[in-house]
Structure 1
Amino acid sequence: MSASPASSWPLVSDRSPQDILAWRPQGPVTVADYVRHVFALAAWLPEGHPWVVNLCEDRYHFAVLLGACAVSGRVSLQPSSQSAETLRQLAQSHPGALLVGETPTTVPGMAALAWPALDGLSLAAEPAMPLIPVERTVAVLFTSGSTGLPQPHAKTWGKLVANGRAEAQALGLDQRPHALVGTVPAQHSYGFESTFLLALHGGCGFWSGKPFFPQDLVEALAAVPRPRMVVTTPFHLASVMAAEVALPAVDLWLSATAPLAPELAARTEALTGAPVHEIYGSTESSQLATRRTTDGPVWRLMTGVALAQTAGDSLTWAHGGHVEGRVPLADLIRCELDGRFELLGRHADMVNLAGKRTSLAYLNHQLTAIDGVLDGAFFLPHDDEVDRVGRLSAFVVAPGRTREAIMAALRERLDAVFLPRPLVLLDSLPRNSAGKLPRSALEQLYGQHVSGKAPDATR
């Protein structure tokens, strides 16, 4: 590379060639092995495709493909969904994109390649660590669509390196690197930052798989050495704790994508002896702050990151450090001193009925705190969808519990104006791979179970 060190950062920083970067079922992978695979895959990728849709489910395959894009000047597109419609939209918005993944996928208007056998490619004996210009856009991440259509956000190499280092420092991993086991996909911003970036620039290593069921997590933890950190979501964490499986030792839990109930964090710490931390951020802003859930509601900003507010304005911007520009945040925030703040709710989540105000996050917390409720979500349609009385709906997974029993419990927790009409019992909720419930999924449930029905005051 001709760029000077001042304008470039290495693909993997502060690691020796023989350090372990990842663990696969076949065994550990060193930094040198990873660099060999990156160069080999970059040479294998055909010319003429500036965009590469990275659909790799295997976390190591994902890392190699992103590295290959970074060193060759291509851009890794990381959709939050792999639905046919999402991929059709990518084909239209990114002409010349190439789709790469382990499973053959056909998308009209987009070329596709199946993942090759890495060891079958031409591997260099002792490749030098590549340097990547800090201003190079190497990835485009997409919002989950929780509040609308997924939106693209470009990420430059220099900011991504700073991102990984800031998280490692905030969690103390720069002093004591952990083996990372992630239940979230690497394409999602949280999984991307807290497994991939923490490995390349935070001194950690990662497990190549993506365990979903509790027994999968048991096997993944057993495959990596201590200290171990599980990168997960409130939904996955609740499932693991409810299963009461015998887990190998966990040294740190990390959660994001939705607020984590302090009760669940306390139970997890009591059962496993490992602290539970949360990450706050967004695809738009990248990660911004951390907290230990059981210590209370206050968050602490990561190194270099700052928040700005205009007097009399409820909007907050994030800037500085690894944030790409100046980014407005979707949350109502009360800023304190010394980089501390509290979240008061999301702008889009605020509910104002009959002059009374609350948030969907608060309502969801009260719902899922009811004994026997495994999952649940409130939903308020847009103004043009609301029925004559403008009431909230709720979708609930609670095997063995009746609608009447759940409503009775809600009456003890909520003002009557916020009680759902109706409350719909389901076998499961259509959460995505990151444990989120996109608004589009809730709109579909509303159309299937509520829309066009008169409110039932007996439910």
Structure 2
Amino acid sequence: MPTNSSPMQTFPLVFHASPDQTIAWRDGAPISVREFLADVRALAAALPEGGHVFNVCTDRYRFTVSLCATLVAGKTSLLPSTHTPDMVRALASFAPDAFCLHDHDDCAINLPRFRYPERAPVRADGETQVPHIDGARVVAYVFTSGSTGAPVPHRKTWGFLVKNVRAAAARLNLLGEARATLIGTVPPQHMYGFESTVLLALLGGLAFSNRQPFYPVDIRAELDAIPEPRVLVSSPIHLRALLANDEALPRASLVLSATAPLSEKLALDAEARLQAPLMEIYGSTETGQIATRRTARTAAWELFADITLTPRADGSDHSNDPGEQTMWASGGHVEVPVPMGDALELIDGAHFLLHGRKADLINIAGKRTSLAYLNHQLNAVPGVVDGVFYMPDESASDSEPVRRLMALVVAPDLVAADLQRALRERIDAAFMPRPLLFVDSLPRNATGKLPREVLTKLIETERNRRAALTFTVPPGHPALAGHFPGRPIVPGVVLLDHALDAISVALGQRFDACRIESAKFLSPAKPGETLDIAYETAASGAIRFTIRAGERAVASGALAATDKHTS
């Protein structure tokens, strides 16, 4: 196989040995290489003018046919990380001739649109010659968010992608005679899904399923529908949901994971339940995939053959340590040395440890850790379904001398005190989250990631909701007149009135049809004292609440819907 991507070298569009080999499963039906190439040729001939294609097809088969048709037609794909209106405007600015290729009637992308055409089944006796693509051809521009938030394009040539994906296939032992089918829970537009569910099939001589199962029941059904051997290409958030109950799972031959750190426990569970080795993949948009590890057995990552990491002094504006170093990746498919944005520790020439994103390293009161480590510890607490730490941006208006870590957690069966106690056993007190916010779910995207801007908005919403649960009763409140003169305390009815109002605001619903089912007054509340309300909703629909002054409980009670008690 050629070793570089000079303009005189070409690589086939697909690496399958026979035109009759299965390259895809479309809604449970096998698609041969012959049929796939016919679909590619037909779509390439039908594409409108415009040199850049924003491929938003959600069906993985249509996406892959569209990708290949775009390449065969001499056009270039645009693969942004999001499809927001701002991103679409950025794409239009980057490539004014871009059009959107989609497969849904309700597509609202603000670009010229072309719908993927539905065609009758292709005859099996058509042309079978595989197109060869110049290794220097630009296949796609993959976009990431730059330091200013503006999208940054990264050019991907066919030669780069072929060498990278073939190296990955070799590392994963997927180039043997037993041709596996890839089942992806991640979208094909994301770099990981693009590499591991689309290109890995094309360039590894494998097959892929057109579906993108998301919920555990759908993942189980898809594993059951596709014949062995099958590879599950997933992420920690999808694997955690899949393994949340004890229902039996169909066997996989291999499980792949990326997009977020994977815990050893989750890796062990996945290997046991799916009866397959789990390989975690490491890389970046700039370098492509460069290392793997079997997380259930080791914390060390193993570089692909010919890839090297070289430390250099960190001259970035973000480094606070003059002696800090940045690792640069080079060799193999990485055509020019690339600085890595992660904190990496070399073990030897082929292995390293990952300590998280350099931008995620935290220094509080002279103590250092990373958000990745804190997230790992939070999610390892029994009863935590999902959770994330968050470090606010510095602000000139901040009144506190030290920025405080926050955390959002999904833990319906835990109370804050128990979770805080468990965290104190796992992390230094300097990194305890203040506040610790309980939420129903985290707004993860299709790959399981939490975009910072989305997380920031959620925290702002939760803090505003939390603010509604803090109140004071001023000394001049009319209910205090004559109430224990000389040593006034807040009447219980005032406390309960505030509790009802605050919980109504927090839940966004009126409690006209509710009543106070029980109330206990545990200690006196003084005028002007800051009082906090905490509440939780029971399975019965009752709402239990507690009013506190600092650590001291002032009152507690329960609210229940009136119609639950009417006869």
Instruction: Bin the TM-score by the shorter chain.
Output: over 0.9
The answer as to whether partners of 1:141 and 1:283 remain within 8 angstroms in 2 is yes
Which runs of 5 or more residues in structure 2 are unaligned?
A: 314-322, 471-529, 533-549, 553-567
Q: Tell whether the 8 Å contact from 1:145 to 1:438 is kept in structure 2 after alignment.
A: no
1:370 corresponds to which residue?
381
1:398 is aligned to 411
- Does the residue aligned with 1:433 lie in a helix, a strand or coil? coil
What TM-score comes out, normalization by structure 1 length? 0.93
CA separation in 2, counterparts of 1:246 and 1:340?
A: 35
SS of match in other structure, 1:280:
strand
- Select which of 282, 288, 312 maps to 1:310: 312
Q: Deviations over 1:363-393 (max 9, x none)?
A: 0001001111111100001111755142100
- Corresponding residue of 2:440: 427
Query: Which one-letter code corresponds to 2:277 in the other structure?
Result: P
* 1:155 lines up with 2:161 in the alignment: no
Compare relative contact order (CA 8 Å, sep 6+) and give the higher one, 1 or 2: 1
8 Å CA contact 1:317–1:327 kept in 2: the answer is yes
Distance 1:202 1:458, change over 3 A: farther
Partners of 2:25 and 2:171 lie apart in 1 by 24
Calculate the TM-score normalised by the size of structure 2.
0.76
In structure 2, the CA distance between the partners of 1:90 and 1:122, relative to structure 1 (3 Å rule), is farther
How far, CA to CA, are the matches of 1:208 and 1:89 in structure 2? 29
Deviation at 1:150, TM superposition (A): 4.3
Cα deviation for residue 293 of structure 1 reads 0.4
Q: CA offsets, 1:86-129, max 9 Å, x none? A: 22322232211110111242344x20112210437999921421
What's the Cα RMSD here? 2.5
SS in 1 for 2:456: helix
* Partner residue in 2 for 1:333: 344
Aligned to 1:379: 390
Contact 1:403 1:423 in 2 (8 A): yes
Determine the structure 1 residue equivalent to 2:240. 238
Instruction: Identify, as 1 or 2, the structure richer in helix.
Output: 1
- Taking a change above 3 Å as real, the CA distance of residues 178 and 5 of structure 1, as seen in their structure-2 partners, is farther
Residue 85 (structure 1) aligned with residue 96 (structure 2): no
Cα distance between partner residues in 1 of 2:295 and 2:146: 26
The Cα offsets for residues 36-90 of structure 1, whole Å up to 9 and x where unpaired, read as: 111110100012x111001011111111000011111111111222233322322
Partner of 1:75: 76
Report whether the alignment pairs 1:250 with 2:263.
Answer: no
Residue 224 of structure 2 aligns with which residue?
222
* SS across alignment from 2:42: helix
Structure 1 residues 337-346 or 62-71, which shifts more?
A: 337-346
Specify the SS of the correspondent of 2:448: coil
Q: CA deviation at 1:324?
A: 4.6
Paired residue type of 2:409: V
Tell me the alpha carbon deviations over residues 287-310 of structure 1, each in whole angstroms, 9 at most, x when there is no partner.
110110012111111123222222
Partner of 2:299: 297
- Structure 2 equivalent of residue 346 of structure 1: 357
8 Å CA contact 2:24–2:30 kept in 1: the answer is yes
- CA 1:68/1:433 → structure 2, altered by over 3 Å: closer, same or farther? same
Which residue pairs with 2:201 in the alignment?
A: 199
How far residue 222 of structure 1 moved from its aligned partner, in angstroms, is 1.9
Summarize deviations over 1:208-267 as a string: whole Å, max 9, x none.
Answer: 110000111112112211111100001100000003332211121110011100011112
Deviates more, 1:203-212 or 1:240-249: 240-249
- Return the offset for 1:356: 0.7
Distance in 1 separating the partners of 2:438 and 2:424: 17
Distance (whole Å) between structure 2 residues aligned to residue 409 and residue 17 of structure 1 = 58
Checking the alignment, whether the CA contact within 8 Å between 1:411 and 1:419 is kept in structure 2 is yes
1:323 partnered with 2:325 = no
Larger mean Cα displacement after TM superposition, 3-12 or 374-383: 3-12
Residues 142-189 of structure 1 show CA distances to partners (whole Å, capped at 9, x for unaligned) of 237899554321100011111221111111111243211000000111
**Which has the higher Rg, Structure 1 or Structure 2?**
2
Q: Which residue does the alignment assign to 2:186?
A: 184
Per the alignment, residue 95 of structure 1 pairs with 96
Q: Is the 8 A contact 2:24 2:61 kept in 1?
A: yes
Q: d(CA) in 1 for partners of 2:125 and 2:44?
A: 12
Provide the residue aligned with 1:142 in structure 2: 143
* Aligned residue type for 2:282: Y
1:22 Cα shift?
0.6
Instruction: Give 1:441's match in structure 2, choosing from 431, 447, 454.
Output: 454
Question: 2-side partners of 1:149 and 1:414: how far apart?
Answer: 35
CA distances 1:8-34 after superposition (whole Å, capped 9, x unpaired) = 111002421111111011611111111
1:358 maps to 2:365: no
Helix, strand or coil at the partner of 2:256:
strand
Letter in 2 for 1:200: L
Are the structure 2 counterparts of residues 128 and 44 from structure 1 closer, same or farther at C-alpha, using a change threshold of 3 Å?
same
Distance 1:53 1:39 in 2: 19
Using the alignment, how far apart are the partners of 2:239 and 2:28 within structure 1?
Answer: 27
- In the alignment, structure 1 residue 119 sits paired with structure 2 residue 132: no
* Counterpart Cα distance in 1 of 2:173 and 2:17: 17
- Contact 1:141 1:187 (C-alpha < 8 Å) held by counterparts: no
* Residue aligning to 1:52: 53
Preserved CA contact (<8 Å) 1:214 1:243:
no
1: CA distance, partners of 2:384 / 2:146: 25
Q: Which moved more, 1:310-319 or 1:448-457?
A: 448-457
| Aligned length in residues | 455
Aligned partner of 2:476 in structure 1 is: none
Q: Read off the aligned partner of 1:341 and give its amino acid letter.
A: F
Contact 1:184 1:191 (8 Å CA) reproduced:
yes
Does the 8 Å CA contact 1:183/1:232 hold for their aligned counterparts?
Answer: yes
Distance 2:242 2:391 in 1: 30
Structure 2 CA distance for aligned equivalents of residues 52 and 5 of structure 1:
23
Residue number among 9, 23, 30 corresponding to 1:21 in the alignment = 23
Q: 1:382-436 CA distances to partner (integer Å, 9 max, x unpaired)?
A: 1117551421000111112112221111111111110111011111101111100
Q: 1:32 to 1:123 in 2, by over 3 A?
A: closer
State the AA in 2 paired with 1:415. Answer: D
Who is 1:43 aligned against?
A: 45
Alignment partners' CA distance in 2, 1:147 and 1:359: 22
Return the letter of the residue paired with 2:53. Answer: V
